[in-house]
Amino acid sequence: GAVGVLLGAFGAHSLKASPSTTPKDLEVWTTATQYLFYHALAIVAVNAHAAAAARRGAKVVCALYPDPSTGYPPRYARDSVPAVTRYPDGQTTPTPEAIDFTPGELLGCVSGGLGLRAYLEAGGHQFVVTSDKDGPDSEFEREMRDADVVISQPFWPAYITRARMEAAPNLKLAITAGIGSDHVDLQAAIERRVDVAEVTFCNSISVAEHVVMQMLALVRNYIPSYKIISSGGWHIADCVQRAYDIEGMHVGTVAAGRIGLAVLRRLKPFDVHLHYTDRHRLPSDVERELNLTYHERVEDMVKVCDAVTINCPLHPETEHLFDDALIGSMKRGAYIVNTARGKICDRDAVVRALESGQLAGYAGDVHFPQPPPSDHPWRTMPNHAMTPHTSGTTLSAQGRYAAGGR
């Protein structure tokens, strides 16, 4: 596979410019070549590290969220999950030679162990799983010091800092069981030659479904209505005084990658006006298919939207992107759904906007830090529909990222 990617990289690099070639074409070719080449090198490096670790027996340290409060294994609501073998772009789902679990099982918690224990221990490797991940006296930090591989999740992130890496001289590989590795100090990983890997596309559709669910919950005022019926009430006016139809609204996504595009596709049947902003414009046929309006700048898009979903990665340019100024430029009574990363939104700016009525609602499943402290204002701010970081760790998704981790 690595050889194929390398050959593809050199093939792309050898493309000759034609009279119709534009500078943008050359930029795209160069970017694609670089991506393919470094992706191939990463594959080679990961395989080399795995082979070296296998010869002497590796130590793998894994941080996963705690078991259910009712005990493990849970009583499952369903007997099976649908089999998904390909993602929407044609890429296949992870296909290891074998798995030691049944898809649909709870694998993302400590006792689930990503279904890796039998596999690793049969190969003579040490496998340590803990939910105690924060602070210098945590079990994760103690065990990481002589680890070859660490595995973490975006939902319960063990922050792989420079200091932790410097204290772990054997560390060669940091795996994200999911998508999004901003909990890893990537610059320190580069300097220390620690490979960072994640399971591409494994839960993108899971997150997209969560976005649509939360957007509808906000617009339809679902959670307060649920609380009224659960408490024995039947106060219809209290339910509907903040309830609207999403039909006809203008909805935009910040970034239209795998998740953002999947959100747009799922919202189209609701007869909304769809908008997006992204560094890379979608193909014209996709824009026509979904009747999309493209905006070069996020500042231009949010002004015209009734609801905005955030689906971009966290990096220095997006940290606190949604601050007082940007939120203040939105329509009064707009909605935000953020399932990307908590720090993309200024925590206190969101609270102020909800309290003033500038935002009619805010939802998502990401906070900073994770888990947030009990007094985090996003737990108690008005008109929110927050959940723990669950969008990408459904039982369906867990089978894919567990297989990908293996």
Catalytic residues: 203, 341, 370, 389
DSSP-assigned letters across all residues of 281-322:
PPPHHHHHHHTEEEESSHHHHHTT-SEEEE-PPPSTTTTT-B
Structure-block tokens of residue 263: 């959100």
Q: C-alpha angle with apex 94: 82 to 148, nearest 5 degrees?
A: 135
Give the three-class secondary structure for 153: coil
Sheet holding 334-338, edge to edge: 292-295, 273-277, 250-254, 307-310, 334-338, 359-364, 384-386
Query: What distance in Å separates the CA atoms of residue 266 and residue 268, rounded to the nearest whole number?
Result: 6
Structure-block tokens of residue 293: 């309006």
From residue 147, give the alpha-carbon distance in Å to each of 85, 126, 130, 131, 158: 33, 9, 14, 16, 14
Closest to 64 measured CA to CA, from 124, 16, 110, 11? 110
The residues pairing with 134 across neighbouring beta strands, listed in sequence order, are: none
Closest to 317 measured CA to CA, from 389, 253, 252, 254? 254
- CA 331, distance to chain mean position in Å, is 27
Q: H-helix or E-strand containing 237?
A: helix 236-240
Task: Work out whether the CA dihedral 376, 152, 341, 185 comes out positive or negative.
Answer: positive
First to last CA, the chain: 17
Q: C-alpha angle with apex 257: 218 to 181, nearest 5 degrees?
A: 90
The residues pairing with 196 across neighbouring beta strands, listed in sequence order, are: 174
Peptide bond into 283 cis (omega under 30): no
Closest to 340 measured CA to CA, from 254, 404, 266? 254
Q: What are phi and psi of 336, to 5 degrees?
A: -125, 135
Closest to 255 measured CA to CA, from 306, 203, 211, 197? 211
